[in-house]
Amino acid sequence: GAGVSQSPSNKVTEKGKDVELRCDPISGHTALYWYRQRLGQGLEFLIYFQGNSAPDKSGLPSDRFSAERTGESVSTLTIQRTQQEDSAVYLCASSLGATQPGELFFGEGSRLTVL
Amino acid sequence: GEDVEQSLFLSVREGDSSVINCTYTDSSSTYLYWYKQEPGAGLQLLTYIFSNMDMKQDQRLTVLLNKKDKHLSLRIADTQTGDSAIYFCAESLSGYSTLTFGKGTMLLVSP
């Protein structure tokens, strides 16, 4: 597609359930990022994939959060045993990697509500 | 650690200039960015400035960087109602490292 695509756009779940959020980056983009945007807060870095390098997982808030990426394509962010504080918009972004300074292309986000 | 601070809200009238300010703490920042988020949309890169520059102009946008004070500003000339959005300041240590974002400044432009 032309842009970064995320699904689902909205997800409502019950506390304790697992959720999976999907991101399709722009074709050819080697770098992929997940950020979290909680109400009234800035963007919180979660995880960064760059090509075949080991991902930078330093932003994951707990071991309930994990993410995978298949090659240089789709990424899935998984949150296990969701808690109410996990409610947020989860933003995915991709970029060409080292060739363009910080030009991240963002998806519209997946809004997660944990009841 | 890295920290980026912005004022949360700015209201201006159509046709006026808007100035959105940002401060950051990491003196190693190499690139500083302004992103725009319109309602219901993802963030879009507006402009960026390399740390060895002190000013960058792009049509109605002027970015000023005071590296000594770690202060970044975005000036929008002749602000239009379509400029109403949330503006995020961000920094990175290199061209391909992760970005640290501020909380965003909501700009409201009234007719």
pLDDT class for B83, splitting at 50, 70, 90?
very high
Residue A67 clears pLDDT 80, i.e. is over it? yes
Residue B86 clears pLDDT 60, i.e. is over it? yes
Q: What are the residues facing B20 on neighbouring strands?
A: B74
Cβ–Cβ gap A33/B95 under 8 Å: no
Contact with chain B for residue A107, Cβ under 8 A: yes
CA torsion B83→B88→B89→B94, rounded to 10°? Answer: -120
What pLDDT, on a 0 to 100 scale, did the predictor assign at position A12? 97
Chain A residues close to B1, C-beta within 8 Å: none
Residue A99 clears pLDDT 80, i.e. is over it? no
What pLDDT, on a 0 to 100 scale, did the predictor assign at position B96? 58
Residue B74 clears pLDDT 70, i.e. is over it? yes
Cβ–Cβ gap A102/B99 under 8 Å: yes
3 state SS of A53? coil
Contact with chain B for residue A27, Cβ under 8 A: no
Residue B22 clears pLDDT 90, i.e. is over it? yes
Which of A42, A101, A108 comes nearest B42 by C-beta?
A108
What pLDDT, on a 0 to 100 scale, did the predictor assign at position B57? 94
Express as a percent the part of chain A with pLDDT over 90: 67
Separation CA A32–CA A49 (nearest Å): 5
Q: Which residues contact B86 (CB under 8 A, 6 or more apart)?
A: B36, B37, B104, B105, B106, B107
Residue A101 clears pLDDT 90, i.e. is over it? no
Separation CA A63–CA A79 (nearest Å): 9
The two beta strands, B9-13 and B105-110, are parallel
Separation CA A32–CA A36 (nearest Å): 14
Separation CA B26–CA B31 (nearest Å): 11
What mean pLDDT do residues A6-22 have?
A: 97
Which of B31, B98, B103 comes nearest A45 by C-beta?
B98
Measured in angstroms, the CA of B16 and the nearest CA of chain A are apart by 27
The two beta strands, B43-50 and B31-37, are antiparallel
Other beta carbons less than 10 A from residue A39's beta carbon: 7
Residue B88 clears pLDDT 90, i.e. is over it? yes
What pLDDT, on a 0 to 100 scale, did the predictor assign at position B55? 94
What mean pLDDT do residues B60-75 have?
A: 94
Long-range contacts of B56-59 (CB under 8 A, 24+ apart): none
Q: Is the dihedral of CA A54, B95, A77, A36 positive or negative?
A: positive
Chain B residues close to A48, C-beta within 8 Å: 98
What pLDDT, on a 0 to 100 scale, did the predictor assign at position B109? 96
Contact with chain A for residue B39, Cβ under 8 A: no
What pLDDT, on a 0 to 100 scale, did the predictor assign at position B6? 93
Quick one: tokens of B43? 């963030």
Cβ–Cβ gap B41/A97 under 8 Å: no
Chain B residues close to A50, C-beta within 8 Å: 96
Contact with chain A for residue B42, Cβ under 8 A: yes
Task: State how far the alpha carbon of B46 is from the alpha carbons of A15, A103, B55, B74, in Å.
Answer: 38, 9, 15, 10
Burial class (CB in 10 A: 0-12, 13-18, 19+), A54: exposed
Contact with chain A for residue B43, Cβ under 8 A: yes
Only one residue has tokens 């998984």, namely A78
Residue A1 clears pLDDT 70, i.e. is over it? no
